[in-house]
Structure 1
């Protein structure tokens, strides 16, 4: 089983510096999925204080990787083979929360989905789905 503390350490050890620059925090991880949050900062906001799509897609992908770890009961390297992000509304607020879950885990492929919301309002701002290859 992967704890939030272990997941946070694994995030720091295994993800690129530009992912780390988002300051992601693992707030939940278990067999049901994972929740990660990032603060809304000037570095990821564009005109009007709207969080850029690249940051949202990165948060979704990273969250789904941890949902895979939660489902598998351990952190394994997975490769994103496809990622689709749908932007629902302008992402503003203090924090962006991403709730991710595995839909199906096979021997070689894992299918996941994520919902991103802006806090404190809790307004959905994006949804994503991905397929991961498990070597």
Structure 2
């Protein structure tokens, strides 16, 4: 059974529906690639998936250890290469103003983030720069 059903909406826009939840995602081609840039681009979603996956796995580790990650925030910068056009680097900066747990627990979170399924699935050619501000 499919996980996602998708359709081309015209004008370089796609719509995807997550079958289990019914949630929708729209993508647009970016301004620098003939698009309107009115929504996430497909490569934006790759970068967002990396950050979200990292935090999800960190959350699993934290819950297991009875720690709340509330307040953890992150910023993602995607850097494109032009020839061939592809993602060259994804930079993620995590910010946690009131970190919890011991230094060894925080290291466990960092290790979990770097080994999330999306991080492990991306080509080694995609540089992953991760900064932990905690």
TM-score scaled by structure 1?
Answer: 0.30
Q: Which has the higher contact order (CA 8 A, sep 6+)?
A: 1
Q: Going by fraction, where is strand more abundant, 1 or 2? A: 1
